[in-house]
Amino acid sequence: MDLLFATNNQHKLREIREIMGTEFNILSLKDAHVDIEIPETQETIEGNAVQKARFIYELTGLNCFADDTGLEIEALGGRPGVYSARYAGAGCSFDENIGKILLELSGNANRKARFRCVICLILNGKEQTFEGKIEGTITADRCGTDGFGYDPVFLPDGYRQTFAEMPAYLKNGISHRGRAIDKLVKWHKNSEVAE
Ligand code: IMP
């Protein structure tokens, strides 16, 4: 089944294609000839995931999904959270965002953080959301060059490598996005059986 992924983030597209396996054929916006900025103006991760999926569904009428992710740092009261993409200011780089959280956490012994991802799926006009989380800590310095976003400073609990040091299959197997997609695929399999 074709499923359009409502994102302009090529890192996410690559990860989702690696995670999804053969269950769905993931179409990019480019495959669907859609070249547009997708609004994400809500105040929650859930709200943004739903807003992005509805926007693309209303535009194309195709089965689609969107994800929204936030890095929630305990000592920062859950920030950057829904503001993770633009934490250091509009148009900022991944590295500037990392610089800002490292500065805000400097000297702080509490480095606990989690990635939280919400996926909103619109299938045959019906909406469904799925959440995936991964707990970890923020390292003192950047480690590794793979992945994207905050990966160089996120050390998942129980591992000795940051997301940016891990091979992609390992990150995808435990990540917030991997876990949310896992739930989506299981839900879809069950709903096929129920039909
Ligand atoms: P978005 O709003 O869902 O596009 O994501 C917000 C921001 O969170 C992105 O710009 C990245 O900086 C960060 N982010 C999302 N997913 C990941 C991930 O898997 N690893 C590291 N950072 C991520």
pLDDT band at 54 (very low <50, low <70, confident <90, very high): very high
Percent of the chain residues topping a pLDDT of 70? 98
Closest CA to 36 of 53, 19, 56: 56
User: Given 2, 31, 67, 68, which residue is catalytic?
Assistant: 68
Question: Which residue lies with its CA nearest to atom 6 of ligand 1?
Answer: 85
Q: What is the mean pLDDT of the chain?
A: 96
> What are 118's two structure tokens?
């919400």
95 C-alpha to ligand 1 centroid (Å)? 12
**Ligand 1 centre and the CA of 195: distance in Å?**
35
pLDDT 10s digits, 99-150? 999 999 999 999 999 999 999 999 999 999 999 999 999 999 999 999 999 9
> Would you say 33 and 62 are in contact if contact means Cβ atoms under 8 Å apart?
no
Cβ–ligand 1 contact at 84 (below 6 Å)? yes
Q: Which residue type, as a one-letter code, is found at position 139?
A: T
Element (H, E) at 129: strand 126-138
157 given a catalytic annotation: no
Average pLDDT over residues 63-87: 97
Tokens 């609004």 belong to which residue? 39
- Ligand 1 pocket, 51 CB below 6 A? no
Per residue in 155-193, pLDDT (tens digit) is 999 999 999 999 999 999 999 999 999 999 999 999 876
| Residue of the CA atom closest to atom 16 of ligand 1 | 69
Q: What is the CATH number assigned to the segment(s) 2-194? A: 3.90.950.10
Q: Is the CB of 151 under 6 A from ligand 1?
A: yes
Note if the bond before 80 is cis, omega within 30 degrees: yes
Nearest to 180 by CA among 121, 114, 124, 127: 121
Q: Answer whether residue 21 shows pLDDT above 90.
A: no
- pLDDT for position 195: 64
Q: Whose CA is nearest to atom 15 of ligand 1?
A: 69
Q: How far is the CA of 11 from the centre of ligand 1 (A)?
A: 9
Mutate to test the pocket of ligand 1, among 84, 92, 93, 118 (most ligand atoms within 8 A of CB): 84
Going by the DSSP 8-state scheme, the letter that residue 39 receives in this structure is P
Q: What is the DSSP letter of 120?
A: E
Residue 151: pLDDT above 90? yes
CA 176 to ligand 1 centroid distance, Å: 10
